[in-house]
Chains A and B, each alone.
Chain A
Amino acid sequence: MRKVFDFHGGIHPAENKHQSLRTPIASAGVPAELILPLSQHIGAPAEPIVEVGQRVLKGQVVAAASGFVSVPVHAPTSGQVTAIEDRLIAHPSGLSAPCIVITSDGLDQWQECQPVADYHSVDKADLLARIRDAGIAGMGGAGFPTAVKLTVKPQAPIATLILNGTECEPYITADDILMRERAQHIIEGAQILSHLIEPSEVLIGIEDNKPESIAAMQVAAQGTGIEIVVFPTKYPSGGEKQLIEILTGKQVPSGGLPADIGVICQNVGSAVAVRDAILEGKPLISRVVTVTGEAVEEPQNLEALIGTPMSYLLQTAGYQAAKNQRLIMGGPMMGFTVPDADVPIVKTTNCILAPSAAELPAPPPAQPCIRCGMCAEACPASLLPQQLFWFAQGKEFEKAEQHNLFDCIECGACSYVCPSTIPLVQYYRAAKAEVIQIRQDAEKSEHSRLRFEARQARKEREEAEKEAKRAARKKAAEEKARLAAEQGDAQEDPIQAAIERAKAKKAAQASGGDAESELEKLEKLVITTRKRLETASTKLEAAKAEGSEHVDALQLGVDKTSAKLAAAEQALHAYQQANPSPDIPAPAAPDDAAQAAIERAMAARQADAAKSPEEKARESLQKLEARLAKSEARLQEGRAAGEEEKIIIALESTVERLREKVAAGKAQLKQAETC
């Protein structure tokens, strides 16, 4: 006898399994309409490859797998595709999802099946492809694509293949009856799986509350080397992690997969589906479903086509809608309620439970947690559910994670034993969802932080490039000035000058500066400043006339503006000097003062261009001297009139600046004269 291990916690809820075991598996027949959700498995939804109106045969692919972790969907009977649209599906959310709707033609006509006579002679990759193409996804509940699970990495060999015939959830007998009636098929499936992954042992785990199944499986397994392991009944021993611990004594690492410890676990139903796919060439289009609960007259197991509406199966079993208040897909511990009886069954549907109100009464209002610890005793994951509840309630998600919230398998054992009837599992689900949301938000904000930093870096880089271009332009201008100076007052060689100009222009263009727009900008500045000066002067005059107390302030404004104007004019002048452009458009008829000013400035520039550097220097010096004299006079005036201090200071600084400029101009002139 093989040693079996125990796992922590667990509960013994009323089994209620005998009700649906009184009759053998019956065929449910073909409903008028079949609804095939595109996502019946974990992974990417399948993609429809049929069109509305198209006739399909039984077993024909109607939606293809999209990606590695995905499986196709097949037509469960022959008929016509009547819609590809969103339908209400069996999902805890109660939402709609894309479905292919097939209206049966009543012929139930198969497409040609291609069985494999001897799978030993077929390449393993080909066998895996067949399993995948048959649309097989874990039939125990999660619906993980079987072929993906069977893809063994060579560096991580599998020691133990476990077939899960535990079926620990109350009410459900689909696997039980499958083991009783199709033990041979299960063993054949197990042999195929074993051939694929080459484990050192194959175990089939069954709880001791299924003696008929155990006997049937033992008979079928004789001489195959497959071992039937029986262990005490306890919920949730059928959970993958728990079953692995029972049979091997090992625990799947948190966040890891069974394959990490050399174990692969498959449901017995999946084994039969694999066997049918290989030996008969039939895709997964039907499964055994337990229809039970006090609201059906004849609880039983039905072999139903995938996509059959629940209502159709319920009618077959004698549904009494008046007695039923909630309809559960799955069992009483982990099943979920459906919003409507017309939702279709899918590949993972093992049970339809229609309990009466007395059978599964509505939960009473929750009382305060008294930390009795019964939940911790029941928890198969050795968590502290009462602490998790405390943290979930207080939204202390970090602490909840520290207490291993994500190792909760949502088996419901804690809620089952809670004397205060607190819906603990719901708290954990909500907390997990919130934690995931927080993680996603954190990821998002991290992403935007990176983007922001990248943007900052880009801006800095651009700024640096601009600076470099500016420096290049400046250098080019200086070079030009130097060349001009070298050539002295000698008549410029017109050809050489043209070349220089072209070069300078090219350099300016190469460095990205738009010569024309730069010029325009400066001109605009001159014009606006002049306009402002005019308005300010008008205002000043008016104020003087009125004897207003704002005269001083206005005077200051006028002074400042005129200084700015001078600076702008100078800048424009300098620019034009640096970038002489021979093809300045002919001056248009001046129609306003600003235009006239531009004309003047341009005329002056053109006149300048003809002058020697010495002359230019002398002229600008004269201008500066004139301005200095004017400013000095203004300062004297101001001092005499006893004007405000700040005005005096402003005037003084103007005089100072002009003096410096005059000195610089004198130096320049001297230099020009000596050349």
Chain B
Amino acid sequence: MSLMRITSPHAHGPSRTSRVMQQVLLATLPGVIVLTHFFGFGTLVNIFWAGILAVAFEALALKLRKRPLGFYLGDYSALVTAVLLGIALPPYSPWWLIAVGIASAILLAKHLYGGLGYNPFNPAMVGYVVLLISFPVQMTSWAPPRGAGELPGLIDALQACFLPASFDGVTMATPLDLLKQNDSLLMEDLWQANPQFGRWGGLGWEWASIAFLAGGLWLLYQRVFTWHAPLSMLATLTLMAALFYDGGSSASGGSPLFHLLSGATMFGAFFIVTDPVSSAVSVRGRLIYGALIGLLVYLIRIFGNYPDAVAFAVLIMNLAAPFIDQYTQPRTYGHARQGGDR
């Protein structure tokens, strides 16, 4: 019998890429449940349809690239992209919108760059931004949350997706839209005039954000990612909001709590900013990366043209990640610190 010749190490830990991806999928569950509770089945239909398309496009791309299907589909990365995009899209989006988004994410952002691990940009965010720029009307039509309007049923949700022409949905401005458009009301009055503001960050939004935060904390506990990038993003956003809160006047940018619990803040912090492939790699690098995303989110929300900004902020910082890496190498063992001592 001949003996196997391989190099060390011979032992291997339990972590696997597919397991990491499964954990991420699992961690989105609380957020998805809350979104479904407040906005109806739209998000679930989004995710369902996006998932089917993502696997199909992934398989197509792998086939074109002559890669083994089973091996690469088994890493669940396409499903993660689908679920993240499905959550980010407005509920009751038409099927073609989702298809364009998934095609952009999987084919353009991922496989054109060489597939998993080689994409400089977060695929879900590329898909989202392509849609936001191409179809602004559909992308800014959010359904009213439970408590502010009638919720469509499952059949309606399916109809909205696959027979969009026959679906007559109701939409309502999101809290971030309202804040952006407001130029006369004090914060307190604005809250009272619009029921969808809820308690802190918007009816439905605040609970969805808390659910995503919970999922993110669980991932942190599972050591799927480190705290550095999400925490530094949230901290910077909080700091910016606090600086420009200005006591709740009509020119206020909104309270820190509002910014933390509204829009895609928590979802972005724990499910988008933590995407390892497109982010900076070192500890210091991730702190800077997260902080700059937090800063950009605030600047775009308050001074930009779009009500929410996580996707743009993340894509801009994806561009900067290699640059950040270049200047944030950790000090290697036995190398002098800056200043000379060891």
A interface residues, Cβ below 8 angstroms from B: 7-8, 11, 13-14, 92, 94, 170, 241, 245, 250-256, 321-322, 324-328, 330, 332-341, 353, 355, 360, 362-363, 365, 367-374, 376-377, 380-384, 386-387, 403-404, 407, 410, 412, 415-421, 423, 425-426, 429
Contact = CB atoms under 8 A, between A and B. Distances in A.
Contacts of B224: 372
B136 to A, nearest CB: 32
B332 A382 contact: yes
Contact of A333 (B11, B15, B17, B75): B11
B193 interface: no
Contacts of A370: 17, 20, 77, 116-117, 276-277
12 contacts: A241-B334, A327-B3, A328-B10, A333-B9, A337-B6, A360-B11, A372-B224, A374-B15, A381-B332, A384-B282, A384-B330, A415-B9
Interface of B: 1, 3-13, 15-17, 19-20, 71, 75, 77, 115-118, 223-226, 276-277, 279, 281-283, 286, 325, 329-336, 342
A193 to B, nearest CB: 24
Contacts of B11: 13-14, 170, 332-333, 360, 412, 416
Nearest to A361: B12
Contacts of A241: 333-334
Given A380-B333, A407-B332, A419 B10 contact: no
Nearest to B283: A376
A16 to B, nearest CB: 9
A11 B283 CA distance: 18
Contact of B277 (A250, A328, A371): A371
A429 B9 CA distance: 12
B6 to A, nearest CB: 6
A73 to B, nearest CB: 26
Contact of A373 (B8, B115, B276): B276
A205 B177 CA distance: 63
A339 B3 contact: yes
A403 B329 contact: yes
Nearest to B9: A412
A253 to B, nearest CB: 5
B115 A252 contact: no
Contact of A407 (B15, B16, B277, B333): B333
Given A371-B277, A372-B225, A407-B332, 5 more contacts: A253-B342, A254-B334, A371-B281, A382-B330, A404-B335
B12 A421 contact: yes
Chain A at the B interface: SS class = loop
A150 B13 CA distance: 38
B333 A325 contact: no
Given A94-B5, A328-B10, A384-B282, A369 B117 contact: yes
A150 B145 CA distance: 77
Given A251-B342, A387-B325, A337 B3 contact: yes
A544 B13 CA distance: 99
A249 to B, nearest CB: 10
Contacts of A374: 15, 223
Contacts of A387: 281, 325
Q: Which 4 A-B residue pairings sit nearest by Cβ, starting from the closest?
A: A412-B9, A368-B117, A254-B334, A332-B11
Nearest to B335: A254
Which of A339, A360, A419 has the most B CB atoms < 10 Å from its CB? A419
B334 A252 contact: yes
Contacts of B75: 367
A334 B20 contact: no
Which of B7, B117, B342 has the most A CB atoms < 10 Å from its CB? B7
A325 B4 contact: yes
A362 B1 contact: no
Nearest to A340: B3
A251 B7 contact: no
Contacts of A383: 330, 332
Given A371-B276, A383-B332, A334 B117 contact: no
B277 A421 contact: no
A333 B8 contact: yes
B334 A363 contact: no
Contacts of A170: 11
A43 to B, nearest CB: 23
Nearest to B279: A371
A369 B330 CA distance: 20
Nearest to A406: B332
Contact of B331 (A252, A333, A382): A382
